[in-house]
Amino acid sequence: MLDIESPLEMALAYADHGWVVFPLYSVENGVCNCWKAKQGKECGRDSGKHPRTSGGFKDATTDPEKIRHWLDMWPRSNIGIATGAVSGLTVIDVDPYHGGMETFEALKAKGVEFWQTAQVSTQRGYHLYHAYDGKVKNSLGKGIDVKSDGGYVVAPPSVGVYGVYVWQIAMEPQPL
């Protein structure tokens, strides 16, 4: 998965892996390309992170034809992966700009280990992909959110205002 740069190829690889995907708006020249931004409004931290489809993550699929249709229509889309039981994923979102590394270190000192798993560097932090177990909270503390049932993550090779989403460790998500 690390060498794929095309949003279509990556979305199809995720779907082949059983992860349900859907298209997100993207960032072009530092600005979100959604309808709101085209009216001169700011998307702020949501730039390149909100769904292109009306159903959002509820439209997510593994159907290659649907994925091809979306990405033929919107070839520069960012890719979203619905989390939770639907994809078998729980993703830990570590945001260093909001205290995530300090919280991570405090959890690690208490014996909580969730770092050695599939890992993505986000625009400003990390996503740690874990196998879904249905037992996780929405947050593990300041700067660490949990994406599970009813949520989604932005996935590589998506581009945001602050940078590109890139696989750092590509392996099977480990249990929490």
Q: What is the DSSP letter of 61?
A: B
| The predicted structure's pLDDT at residue 158 | 95
CA-CA distance, 83 to 142, in Å (whole number)? 21
Work out the average pLDDT over 52-76. 96
Model confidence pLDDT, tens digit, residues 23-56: 999 998 888 888 887 787 888 778 899 999 999 9
pTM for the complete prediction? 0.92
Position 160 in a domain = yes
| Domain annotation covers residue 91 | yes
The answer to whether position 174 is within a domain reads: no
Domain presence at residue 120: yes
What is the count of structural domains for the chain? 1
**Domain assignment present for 67:** yes
Q: Give a yes or no: residue 15 inside a domain.
A: yes
Report whether pLDDT(1) > 60: no
pLDDT at 108 over 60: yes
* For the chain, percent of residues with pLDDT exceeding 70: 97
Q: Does 128 map to a domain?
A: yes
Is residue 22 assigned to a domain?
A: yes
79: containing domain = 7-169
**pLDDT of 141 above 60:** yes
pLDDT > 90 fraction of the chain, expressed in percent and rounded: 61
Task: Give the alpha-carbon dihedral of 47, 49, 52, 56, to 10 degrees.
Answer: -140
Residue with more model confidence, 34 or 88? 88
